[in-house]
Chains A and B, each alone.
Chain A
Amino acid sequence: MTDVVIAGIGQTIVGEHWELSIRQLARLAVRAAIDDANGLKPEILIVGNSLAPEISHQAHLGALIADFVGLQGIEAFTVEAAGASGGAALRSGFLAVASGQVDVALVVGVEKFTDEVGSSVEAATTTAEDSDWESIHGMTPVSQAALLMRRYIHEFNVPRHAFSKFSVNAHANGALNPNAMYQKAITDEVYNKSGIVSDPINMFDVASIADGAAAVVLTRSECLPKSFPHRQVRIAGSQTSTDTLALHDRSDPLTFNAAKMSVERACLKAHINPIQVDFFELHDAYSIFSALLLEAAGFSKRGSAWELAISGGIEPGGCMPISTFGGLKARGNPGGATGVYQAVEAVSQLRGEAGANQVLDARRGMIQVLGGPASVAITHILEAL
């Protein structure tokens, strides 16, 4: 099969973009990606978005954004997989290009939370849960994560402060990323003193949801112009796995099975062992997720990922750098745009254009995005050619 390569990347800074609508956010990222792709003309636009119908009262983003970015007439639609929508859109674009049905695909992840404020935003985020069994009883995504963290602490007899390094590492990396929502490093002390959001989750265990858009242009190597200025980055593996929506339907909630399966299958396609990736952009919406995902990918034994964090293994110079641009924690959690942000960041790393955030000699990266507590997990392996 011919390689599918990521030829263009674009992103907006993540934050509270009160003065930008969802179409304007998308346009900023799309224009940047098309410029970066050196004039490739997309035949399809795939939008990754999770909450626009609920929060912005706007469905039908495919046609809306195609029109607004000046691509009237092309094929366009939205892909939804809760927080993993961006990853699902990326995979759809990969399939479209790999199949030969199109030569160039444009994928944009966009989320606009600030069309509403307060409890209505929180209510919207609960729609990714099992409505009959979870959200209707008042469970929110944060309280789901809090149940997992409490269980993890109990099951593995982990000290409460064990999770601090996930947040400290993310903020140290975010401090160097001009597109991060929080460009400020924190200390263990700041982490330990911060207030409780949903016991035992504190303010620095949870990523802030915020507005953002990221876009990539996909094509096949042979479709690239001769003058293409960047190092080529190919999608070596792309896999999605699912699990139950409700936590109580899982025999072992502390194993993120969908994450585990999608890593195994994506690596199989890429003909590598997971350990052969140089960095891992994971879905650190909560610090407990960082721990569970490192374990699901096989980088740590069950119940011990926090030790990898404390030993410095997750830092840019460690054995498995994570959240290299700040992750969801410091770059911000732009909902359904997250998976595309991860792709943009991984391409920056693999092109050697990551600036202060550069992981040395990065040749291969893994990105993984979740919907809910790994009710869906989408994993891509990217490789520099």
Chain B
Amino acid sequence: MTDIISEPSNILLKPNRPVGIVGYGAYVPRYRLPASEVARVWTEGEAALPIKEKAVPGLDEDVATMSIEAARNALKRAQIKPGDLRAVWVGSESHPYAVKPTSTLVAEALGATPNVQAGDWQFACKAGTEAMVAAIGLVGSGMANYALAIGMDTAQGKPGDALEYTAGAGGAAFVLGPAEKSLAIIEATYSYVTDTPDFWRRQYAKYPEHGQRFTGEPAYFKHITEAASTILRETGTTAKDYQWAVFHQPNGKFPQKVAGDLGFKKEQIAPGLLVSVIGNTYAGAAIIGLTAILDLAKPGDRILMVSFGSGAGSDAFTMTVTDRILEKRNLAILTKDYIARRTEIDYATYVRYRGKLTLK
């Protein structure tokens, strides 16, 4: 009988070769639906609005086109050739096809084919950070020098459902590469995962379903708190050691509460808290917050990011910004400029753009 080999006590994920973010890019579509419009149509204006407004993709946009936009911004900052990418991974819960990769389309459009891994990731709102952890592994093992991880969504909100106020569109792309070329070095990641069915969409269903308040304490708060407190404990840090933090942001309330519970101050999460002006961008939500933080962070700043995906799990990352941020930041459009680029639409236009009137 063989002995069971005990695992090392450190449960953090750390690559053998130091890895960081070499380039990052965001994308937010231009259309905005005020939450008051949803309330006007569905509750005669009577509702506590969870956000101000959400971003809505145009008629010719989907996760593929939006991923390409964000990835091009990331490549501009990374200053590498698309052919240097050895992986293009797209995390989303609104992939345009059930069978056929989004990632091949994105890789082709970027010019990253054919010597490349391509694959789509699905883990509700943490598909993007799952792709990032995998990219860290690919680069950290030495198998590749550069890998592209994207989290992007055009979230589906059932008409009249509580989620329709917040189900937004947008996301971000990250080129992961060697630490010595990075604008932020990732020290460690940690993931906390259980089978907790708080939110789901079955095959052929157009809109997701959710367990109402079950999505709160047992799902969002439990997983983010466990992931965050574990990575803080195992890295010997506390909230005070970080200049910035960003948490998955399905609405305004949840990330502010979990941040406060973990000891973070409002100022630490303010730059990354974008949900009230673009909505919940699902697989893009935590990571687009990270792009907004990188847009203003100083060399030496430490950042904690914790995503959450229903089903359920959280990925936590700790990272330190390097001097390279100063030369890279302005090579592509800043996240705040995407947010400022705004065309307000009414509910009827939203219904048309999102294909909610089905004619057959």
Contacts and interface: CB of A to CB of B under 8 A. Distances in A.
Contacts of B214: 16, 18, 114, 117
Interface residues of A, number: 7
B195 interface: no
Contacts of B218: 18-19
B212 interface: yes
Given A18-B218, A19-B218, A117 B46 contact: no
Interface hub of A16, A18, A114, A117 (most chain B Cβ within 10 A) = A18
A114 B214 CA distance: 9
Contacts of A19: 218
Contacts of B46: 195
Nearest to A114: B214
A353 B86 CA distance: 70
B202 interface: no
A70 interface: no
Contacts of B48: 195
Main secondary structure of the interface of A (DSSP, over half): loop
Chief secondary structure at chain B's binding surface: helix
Contacts, number: 15
A52 B214 CA distance: 19
B211 interface: yes
A195 B217 CA distance: 24
B293 to A, nearest CB: 33
Interface string A6-34: 00000000001011000000000000000
A117 B217 CA distance: 15
B212 A18 contact: no
B240 interface: no
B213 interface: yes
Interface in A183-203: 195
A286 B82 CA distance: 65
Contacts of A118: 212
In order of increasing CB-CB distance, the 3 nearest A-B pairs are A117-B212, A18-B218, A117-B211
15 contacts: A16-B213, A16-B214, A16-B217, A18-B214, A18-B217, A18-B218, A19-B218, A114-B214, A117-B211, A117-B212, A117-B213, A117-B214, A118-B212, A195-B46, A195-B48
Interface of A: 16, 18-19, 114, 117-118, 195
Interface of B: 46, 48, 211-214, 217-218
